[in-house]
Structure 1
Amino acid sequence: MIRVLHRWPGLLAAALLVVIALSGAALSLFPAAETLTVPEVEAGLPVADLAQRIQNTYPGVEQIRRAPSGRITAYWFDNGTPGSAVIDPATGIRAASADPNATERWLTNLHRSLFLGDTGRIVSAIGAGALLVLTLSGMFLVARRTGGWRRWFTPLQGPLAGRLHVEVARIAIAGLLLSSVTGLWMTAATFELLPEGGSAPAFPADVSGSTGVALKAIPALQQTAVTSFRELSFPYAGDATDVFTLKTDAGTGYIDQGTGQLLVWSGLSAYERVSETVYMLHTGRGASLLGLVLGVMALGVPVMGGTGLLVWANGRLGRPRLRGNVAAGKAETILLVGSEGGSTWGFAATLQSALKAAGQQVHVAPMSSFAPGRYANARRIAVLAATYGDGDAPASAAGFLDKLRALDKAPGAPLAVLGFGDRSFPAFCAFAKQVEEAARAKGWPFLMPMDTVDRQSPQDFARWGRSFGAAAGVDLELNHQPQMPAATSLTLLSRRDYGAEVQAPAAILRFAIPQASLWARLTGRGFQTFKPGDLMGIVPEGSTLPRFYSLASGTEDGFAEIAVRKHPGGLCSGQLMNLQPGGSVRSFIRRNPDFHPGRGKAPLLLIGAGTGIGPLAGFIRSNASRRPVHLFFGARHPDSDFLYAEELAEWSRDGRVGRVEMAFSRGQPPIYVQDALLKDAAEVSRLIAEGARIMVCGGRGMARGVSESLTAILAPSGQTPAMLKAEDRYVEDVY
C-alpha cells in the first residue's frame, strides 16, 4: 500500500513537482543574495535616529520598512511624485533602487500560481500535497529498504537508478517535508482557510490632536533598535488626528504625533508567530542559509523524478504485453501475478494466450490489485506467485495477504496456486505456500492442489497446465518459451584447479568485469555493482535456463570470481570446467541481499564446505574493517581441494580472519565440518552469545548436519537455529 501511495502521486504529478521544485530552488538564491548586499547597520542604532536621517534626506517620507534580510526601504512623496529607494542606514540616503527584481517576480508567480491566478495557486497546492504524500511514503520505503530507521544511511546495492533515487531521498526528505507542509499552510492562509489568529490593535480614541513632535523625542522609537523593527508609517500630512504606526518583531503600536506617547500596543499572537515562522521557513526570508539548504534539497526532486521514472519503466519492461486483457468484471478466469524480476509475467502471458485460444475470457493483473468484489463472472482464480528473498512477497504482490486476511469471507470462485522458485534455495516457493495457507485459513475453495515450477521449467509449467485445464474443463496445452535473461559476455582471466586427486574436480574461476554503460548502470543491467554473496547467473550453451553461482568477490575487487565443482552430467559445470583463460561465458548478476554479512561489529561465524567457501572467502576478502571472523571449512583432503589456502593464510596474517578451523573428510583422522563445530562447542556457544551472525554455504547435506550440531550446542542456552533464523542471525545459501 505504501509503495502504491508513493508511485502514483509521483508519476501523475512529476512535471508539476519538477516545475515547483526548480522555481523554488531558484528563488532560494535571492534572499541569500539580498543578505550579502545589505548595508551594515551600526550596533544599537535606534529607529528614531534612522528615521531622522531619512527624513532629513527625504522630507516627504511616508513609510520606512525593514525586510527580514535587514534591507531598509523608504517610500516618500516629493511635490506629489512618489519615490522609493533602498536606504543606507548610516547616512539615510539612497543605496540602491527599490524596484522589484523582474526575474524574481517572474519566478515567484511561476512558483506560486503557474501564472494562472487562484486556479494556479490551487494546482500548486495540489502539487505540495502530492509532495507531502511522496515524502511521507518515501520515508517508510527508505526505512524498509535500509533495514530500519537506525540504518537510514546504510550503503545500498542494486541498479544505479534505484540507488540514486534512495540516496538523494534520504538526504532531501527532511527539506521536502518542511517545504511541502509550509507551502500547504501558506496556501490555506491565502484562501483564508485557517482561523483568524491576530489583528492590528484598535485605533486609539484619545489622540492629542497636536503635531510636530521630533522623532528623536519619541521614547518608543528611541527604545526600539533598527535590528528588531519592521515598519514605521508616518501620520498623513495635515491630519492632526492621525498617528505614527510602529511594527516590530514583538507587535504593533500607535504613537501620538504631538506628544510622542505610545497610545496602544498589541503583541503578536501565537498564531501570528507561527505564521511568520512558516513564511520564513518556506521563503528563506530571514533565514537565507536555511533557504539555500532547502533550495539544494529541492533540486533532488527532478533527480528523484527521473530515477523514479526509470525504476518504474524498468519494472514495466519486465512485463510482456498482454493483448486482449478483458475487464475484471467480465472475465471467467482471473490470473493474479506475483513477480519480482518479471519472469512470472511471461508464464502468465503464455497461460492467458492458451486460455483465450480455448475461448475463455481472461483478466490478468498483479496480485497487489486483488479485489474479489470486481470478479463478478469469475469461475476460477489462479495465482502465479514467485518468492522474493527469504519467503517475502515479490514487488507485484505487495499487500495481497493483508487484503485476503481482511476479507469477511473468501471468494466463491475456486483457487489454484502455482509457485515459482529454485529448489536450490531454502525458501523454495515460500510465498506461494503462505498464499495457500492463508487461503485455506479463510475457507477459500481450491480448484486443485498447489503446485510448483522449478527454475522456470517449461516442462513443470506444461504439466501444471494440463492439470489446470482438466480441473477447469478446458483443453489446455502450455508451450512456454522462457525469456532469455539480459546476459553479458565475460572473459575468463585465470583459473586454479583442485580436486583431481580425489576425483572431485573443482576450480576457482576469475572473470574480467566489462565496462558498463551509463544506461546499464542506471537500469541495473550488466556488472556495474555486486557484492560477495550475490549470484552470478551463467547461461550454458544449448540451454535457456541459467545456473547460479555465489560470487566470491565484489565490484571493488575489479573482477568476478566463483568457485565451481564439476557435477556428473552437469551441463553448465562441465562447460565451465573446460573453459580456459581467454574464453567467455554469457552471464548476469542476481542480487542476493539475504546472504550478505551486514553492517556492525558482531562476530561472523562462517561455515562452509567444498565450493561453498566461495562467498565466505569473499566476505573475508572484503573485511577491511577487521570485524571478528571465524571460519569453519570442510573439504576432502588438504593437498587436493583446500580452496583459497594461500589467501586464507594471508588474510589470517593481516587480521581479516581471526580463526580458520579446517575439517578434512579424508584426513587422519577424518572429520566433517559439523564435527568440528561440536569439537569446539564452547567457543561456538560463546560467539553466539556475543551476537555472532552465522552464515552457512554448501551442500544441503552439510547444511543439515551443521543445523543438527548447532541444535546440540545451543540446547543448554535454550536457543535453537530456528530462533536465530527468526532474528536474522542464521542464514544459509545451500544447493
Structure 2
Amino acid sequence: MFKNIWFQIHWFIGITAGTILMTIGVSGALLAFREEIMDVLSPGVMHVKVQEQQALTPQQLLEKIRDQEPERRVTSMSITPQPGASARVVFAPPPGVRRGEARYVDPYTGAVLPPPTGMEFFEITERFHRWLLLPTEIGKIVLGTLGLGLLTLALSGLYLRWPRRPLSLSAWFRLDFQLQGRSFLWNLHSIIGTWLLVMYVIFSITGTYWALDWFKQGINTLAGEGRPPQMQRAGGNEGKRQGGEHAHKDKGQEAAPAPLELTLAWQAFIAKVPHFENAQMRLPEKSTQPIQILFLGENAPHERARSRMTVLPQTGEVKQLELYEDKSFGGKAIAAIYPLHMGTFFGLPGRIIMALASLMMPLFGITGWMLYLDRRRKKAALRTERAALARTEQAAPPAANEVTARGPFLVAYASQAGQAERVALHTAALLRQSGAQVTVQSLARTTPEKLRHHQRILFIASTFGEGDAPDSARAFERRMRMSSGESLAHVEYALLALGDRNYAKYCGFGHTLDHWLRNRGAKALFPLVEVDRMEPAALQKWESMLASHGVIDAAVAGRQAPRDTAVAPQAGWQAWSLSERLQLNPGSQGEPIFHIELRHAANDGAWQAGALAEVLPRHAPDRIALLLQRLRLDGSLLVDSNGARHALQDLLATSVLPLAHAAPDTHDKQAAAQALADTLQPLAARSYSVASVPQDGAVHLLVRQARHEDGLGLASGWLTEYADVGATLQVRLVENANFAPAGDVPAIFIGNGSGMAGLRGHLRARVGAGQARNWLLFGERNRRHDFLYQEELEQWLAEGKLARLDLAFSRDQSQRVYVQDRLREAGEELRRWIAEGAVIYVCGSLEGMAAGVDAALIEALGEQAVEDLIEQHRYRRDVY
C-alpha cells in the first residue's frame, strides 16, 4: 500500500510538472556552456588578439570607457589576468530597468566591443530558466515548487525501482538494449534515472535554494550562517555623512562630484593579492564611497570561492579583507551551491556531466508519458475483460459437460502491469462459457496454505525484472519459500508464464512457481506454457491446451481473444503408426517398460529435445465388447458425434465410458445408440517424453505399464499391449519449454525408470551436435534387468561423448542406493560443473526421486543457489 501511494505521487508529479521540467533541463544545459558558445559565435569579443604591450589598468580602462560612453556609468568591472581576455563591464540600468547592460572591453585599447552574438538569446534563456519569464517573485515560487517536485520524483523513483537484489551492480546500472516494448521503456527510465539520481538531487536542492526564501533561510541556518547581512548600497551612511558636509559648506550651490579614481584601490589590491584568477570591482556611485573587490585566489577550488576586499579609493586604505580560506565549513558549503548546480565544482568533467543530465530530462518526460499511456491502455483492456466476464455471469449456464463435472476452478494471477490479470479474466470468461464455476483471485490475496482448499487451479504468472515475482505477489513468494511442505497432491493445475525472452531469467517466477507446485505433489495437466511479450500464438496455445485437456470446451477456445491479440492457428492431431514395441526390462522386479517407436507416413515430424508426445488413448477392445454386451447394443451402429458419423464401438473406445449402464429401449436400437453417443465425452490425451531426435526418423517413447485393480492403465495398456504393431494412433507433438535445450553448455542429467526418455532425447541431440560435456545419473532397481539403453550409454562413455555416468541400482545391495545418494557423493564435482555454467535436467517420478534430488542439490549447493538456478532456468524438470 505504501509503495502504491508513492507510485501515485510519482506519476502525478511526472505528468503534471514533467513537461516544464523538461524545458528547464534543456535551458540549463544551454546555460552551462553559455560563455563558450558566445565566444565561438563572436570571435574577437570575449577574447582579443594578444598584444606585446601591457594591458591597461582598471583606471585607464574606466577613462577610455567614459570617453566612449560619457552618458553611462560603470557599476562593475571584471578583470582577468589571462592574456587576451577582455574585461567585462556592467553599465547602470536606465530608470525602470532591473539589470544594466554588460559589455566587453578590449584590455589593450579600452575600446568597448560590440555585444557578443547570442547574448540576448541567453539572457532570455536565463530568465526562463530562473523565473519562467514570469514576474520575478511569482516565477521564483513556481520554480521552487518545481524544484521540490523534481526532488520528490528522484527520491520516489529510487524507492519504486529498488532492486530485489540491491547488492547486484547489474540490477542497478545495466542498460539492456535488447529489451522491447514496455520492458525497454521501464529499463531506460529506471536505469538512466539511477545513473543521474545524484545530479537531479543536486539540481533540485540548489535550484530551490535560490527560488524559495524560506528554504534558503533554512539551509543557511543549518550551515550556521543565519541570514546574511544586507549588502551596503552605494550612497550608504558614510556617503550620506560626507555628502552632508558638502551641503553644509555650500547650501545654495551643489558641488560637482569628483570622478572616481581607481588607481590607489587597485594598487592596494595588487599589493595584497599579487596572483589572482579573476577580480570584480563594484564601483560606487560617488567617489567618496568605498570600492568592493570580489576576487578568486590563484588556487580557488571553484568560481564562487571568492574573497572580499573593501578599499577607500581616496587613500587606498584596506578597510576590510575577508578571505575564502577563513570561512567556516558552513560558509564554504553555501558558497559551493552555485558551482554544484552548474557542475563547475568538479571542473570541466562536472560541467559536462551536469549538462548531459539536464539534456536527459526530456528522456524521463517522454518515457514516463509512454509508460503512463501504456498503463491507461492496459487498464482499459482490463475493464473490457471484466465486462466480458460479467456478461458470462449473466448468461444462461451451458448444459452439463465434462468441464462442469470436474468442479469449480480457481484462476490465480500475479500481475505487474495488468497483463496477467487481463489474461486471467479472459480465461475465466472461457471457463464460464464452458459451464464451469470460476473464482478469479490475485496471488496478493491468497497464501500457499489457502491453495490447499482448491482442487483445480489455473495460474497466470508474470515475471518482473530478472526472474522476480511481481510486486503484488512478493508476499506470496515469501510465504511460498517459507512454507513447511504441505501436500498439494490433490491439486490439478495448469500454469501460463508471461515474460520477456530478452531477460536472462525468462519467465523466472513462473518456473519458480511451477517447481514449487510440483515439489508439493500438485499434478500438472500439461507442461508450463511460456509467453514472450504477450505473443498471440503462445496465448492461443494456452487455450488450445486447456481445450485438449477438457478444461474448457473446444468450441469456445479462441472465440474471444484479448483485444490486442490475434488468434493464430495451431497444428492438430496427426496419424502416426506404431512401428515397433520392445520390452527393455524382462525379468525386472518392477513393472515392464517398453520402448515404442511411432512413425509418420510423410516423415515430416519435427521436434526438439525435451518435447512431449500427446497420445489419444483407446480402451481395450474386450472392454468395449463387454460394455456393448451389457447394453445389448450393436457396436457397428453408426451414430453422429461432433458433425461426423462413427461406429458406436469406435466412439466408445475413444470416450469416457458411462458409469451407469442402464438398459436402453430395445425397440429402437438406433435411437438408444444415438442417445448414448450424445452423452459421451472424449478421453483426455496422455503426455510422454520423447526419447529420440528427428534424425532418428521416429518418435521413441518409454512407457511403463501401470496396473490397477481393474487391469492395465488406460494409456499404458493401449500402447504396450492392446494396440497392434502397425496400428494408427492419433499423436500430437508439443514443445516442453520447461525442459528445452540450453545450448552449448555443460549439462547434468538426472532421472530414474522411464524418466530416461526425456534425458535420452537430450543426450542424442547433444551427441549429434558434438557437445560432450554430459553427465548422466540414472537409477533403477537391478543392473541386470533395468539398465535401460545400456549398450548405447556405455558406447557414448567409451567414446568420450558422455563425460561421466553414475548409476544407482537400489536392489543390487543390502542398503538401498538412489540417484540422490550418488549426487551427494559427487558434491564437489557438482559444484564445479555448476560454477562452469551447467544446466540440470531432472526427469522421472515426482515422489521419491525428484524430491530427493531437490534436497540433495540444496545440501550440496545451498538453498539460495538452487533458487538462483531455478530463476536462471538452469534447473529444468519433467517429473510426473
* TM-score computed with the length of structure 1 as normaliser: 0.57
Deviations 1:84-126 (A, max 9, x none): 3134556554455169745445555555555564463255235
Partner of 2:187: 166
Q: What is the match of residue 229 of structure 1?
A: 278
The residue aligned with 2:76 is: 63
Cα distance in 1 for partners of 2:206, 2:729 equals 63
**Distance change (3 Å), C-alpha of 1:84 and 1:342:** closer
Alignment partner, residue 35 of structure 1: 36
**1:427 aligned residue:** 513
Q: Is the 8 A contact 2:820 2:853 kept in 1?
A: yes
Q: 1:225 to 1:385 in 2, by over 3 A?
A: farther
Q: Does 1:218 align with 2:238?
A: no
For residues 339-378 of structure 1, the aligned pairs below 5 Å read 339=415, 342-348=419-425
Q: CA deviation at 1:232?
A: 1.6
Native 8 Å contact 1:612 1:697 kept in 2? yes
Where does 1:68-467 land on structure 2 (aligned, <5 Å)? 73-76=88-91, 84-89=102-107, 92-97=110-115, 101-108=119-126, 111-112=129-130, 114=132, 117-118=138-139, 120-121=142-143, 123-125=145-147, 127-137=149-159, 139-140=161-162, 143-144=163-164, 148-149=168-169, 151-153=171-173, 156=176, 159-167=180-188, 169-194=190-215, 196=217, 197=220, 198=225, 199=228, 212=261, 214=263, 217-221=266-270, 223-224=272-273, 228-229=277-278, 231-238=280-287, 240-248=288-296, 249-266=305-322, 267=324, 270-284=329-343, 287-305=350-368, 308-309=371-372, 312=375, 316=379, 319=382, 320-323=384-387, 338-339=414-415, 342-348=419-425, 386-387=460-461, 394-395=469-470, 397-398=472-473, 421=495, 427-428=513-514
Aligned pairs (5 A) from 1:13-32: 13-14=14-15, 16-32=17-33
Q: CA separation in 1, counterparts of 2:337 and 2:767?
A: 52
Q: Distance in 2 between matches of 1:422 and 1:181?
A: 45
Q: CA deviation at 1:296?
A: 4.2
- Asked if the contact 1:17–1:127 (Cα under 8 Å) also holds between the matched residues in 2, the reply is no
Match of 1:519 in 2: none
Q: Which has the larger radius of gyration?
A: 2
Distance 1:202 1:62, change over 3 A: closer
Corresponding pairs, count: 592
The within-5 A match list for 1:519-598 is 574-576=731-733
Equivalent pair of 1:537/1:549 in contact (CA under 8 Å): yes
Aligned pair in 2 of structure 1 residues 312, 50: CA closer, same or farther (>3 Å)? farther
CA, structure 1 residues 345+245, in 2 after alignment: closer, same or farther (shift >3 Å)? same
Identity of aligned residues (%): 10
Shift of 1:481: 7.6
**Separation (CA, whole Å) in 1 of partners of 2:115 and 2:271:** 28
Greater CA drift, 699-708 or 187-196: 699-708
Whole-angstrom CA distance in 2 between matches of 1:621 and 1:290:
54
CA gap 1:710/1:222 in 2 versus in 1, 3 angstroms: same
> Which runs of 5 or more structure 2 residues have no equivalent in the other structure?
40-45, 67-72, 243-257, 297-304, 391-409, 447-456, 481-490, 498-509, 529-541, 572-578, 583-594, 617-641, 643-681, 691-697, 704-714, 720-727, 751-755, 779-786
**Could you tell me which residue of structure 2 aligns to residue 661 of structure 1?**
804
Tell me if the contact between 1:86 and 1:94 (Cα under 8 Å) persists in the aligned partners: yes
Partner residue, 1:688: 831
CA distance in 2, matches of 1:354, 1:490: 20
Equivalent of 1:701 in 838, 842, 845: 845
- Corresponding position of 1:607: 749
SS in 2 for 1:144: coil
- Alpha-carbon distance in structure 2 between the residues aligned to 1:165 and 1:230: 49
**Cα distance in 1 between the residues matched to 2:439 and 2:131:** 43
Q: In structure 2, how many angstroms separate the alpha carbons of the residues matched to 1:306 and 1:539? A: 46
Query: Using the alignment, how far apart are the partners of 2:312 and 2:387 within structure 1?
Result: 82
1:241 is paired with a residue whose SS is: coil
Q: Which amino acid aligns with 1:725?
A: V
User: Deviations for 1:333-369, whole angstroms, at most 9, x for unmatched residues?
Assistant: x9996446745545557869999xx9xxx99986669
What's the offset of the Cα at 1:28? 0.8
Separation (CA, whole Å) in 1 of partners of 2:729 and 2:62: 92
SS at structure 2 position matched to 1:295: helix
Equivalent pair of 2:748/2:838 in contact (CA under 8 Å):
yes
**Contact persistence 1:165–1:303 (CA under 8 A):** no
Alignment check: 8 A CA contact 1:613 1:698 kept? no
Shift of the 56–242 alpha-carbon distance from structure 1 to 2, 3 Å rule, reads same
Q: CA deviation at 1:173?
A: 2.3
Q: One-letter code of the match for 1:86?
A: Y
Any idea what SS the aligned residue of 2:281 has?
strand
AA paired with 1:607? F
Any conservation in 2 of the 1:201–1:265 contact (CA below 8 Å)? no
Q: 1:540 to 1:104 in 2, by over 3 A?
A: farther
Q: Is the 8 A contact 2:291 2:312 kept in 1?
A: yes
Query: What are the superposed Cα offsets for residues 279-305 of structure 1, whole Å, 9 maximum, x if unpaired?
Result: 333345675323333234334314532
1:480-531, Cα deviation, whole Å (9 max, x unpaired) = 988577676899xxxxxxx98942569999999xxxxxxxxxxxxxxxxxxx
Alignment partners' CA distance in 1, 2:729 and 2:319? 94
Q: Quick check: 1:51–1:215 contact (8 Å CA) kept in 2?
A: no
**SS of aligned partner of 2:358:** helix
Question: What residue is the counterpart of 2:247 in the other structure?
Answer: none
Deviation at 1:257, TM superposition (A): 1.0
User: C-alpha displacement at 1:681, in angstroms?
Assistant: 6.8
Quote the Cα distance in structure 1 between the aligned partners of 2:179 and 2:614: 21
Distance 1:549 1:217 in 2: 95
Task: Indicate conservation of the 8 Å contact 1:64/1:231, yes or no.
Answer: yes
List runs of 5+ in structure 1 lacking aligned partners.
327-333, 371-382, 406-416, 435-449, 465-477, 492-498, 513-531, 551-562, 578-586, 653-658
Q: In the aligned structure 1, how far is the partner of 2:613 from the partner of 2:205?
A: 53
Question: 1:179 is matched by which residue type in structure 2?
Answer: Y
Higher RCO (C-alpha 8 Å, min separation 6): 1
CA contact (8 A) 2:413 2:442 kept: yes
CA deviations 1:133-183 (Å, max 9, x no partner) are: 34313551xx33898346545575754441353146324423244224432
Alignment CA distance shift 1:40-1:271 (3 Å): farther
SS of the equivalent of 2:285 reads coil
- 1:191 and 1:79 map into 2 onto residues whose CA distance is 28
How far is the alpha carbon of 1:536 from its aligned partner? 10
Amino acid at match of 2:339: M
Asked if structure 2 preserves the Cα contact closer than 8 Å seen for 1:61 and 1:76, the reply is yes
| Secondary structure in structure 1 of the residue aligned to 2:284 | coil
Partners of 1:323 and 1:123 in 2: how far apart? 42
Q: Distance in 1 between matches of 2:431 and 2:264?
A: 93
Does the C-alpha gap of structure 1 residues 23 and 182 become closer, same or farther in structure 2, counting only changes over 3 Å? closer
Q: Please report how far the alpha carbon of residue 6 of structure 1 lies from its aligned counterpart in structure 2 after TM superposition.
A: 6.5
CA displacement at 1:263 relative to structure 2: 0.9
8 Å Cα contact 1:75/1:84 also seen in 2: yes
Q: In 1, distance between residues paired with 2:463 and 2:773?
A: 25
1:540–1:575 CA contact under 8 A, matched in 2: yes
Tell me how far 1:698 sits from its aligned partner. 4.3
In structure 1, how many angstroms separate the alpha carbons of the residues matched to 2:215 and 2:306? 22
Give, as a single letter, the amino acid of the residue that structure 2 aligns with 1:170: I
**Cα distance in structure 1, aligned partners of 2:769 and 2:286:** 81
Question: CA–CA distance in 2 between the matches of 1:641 and 1:460?
Answer: 36
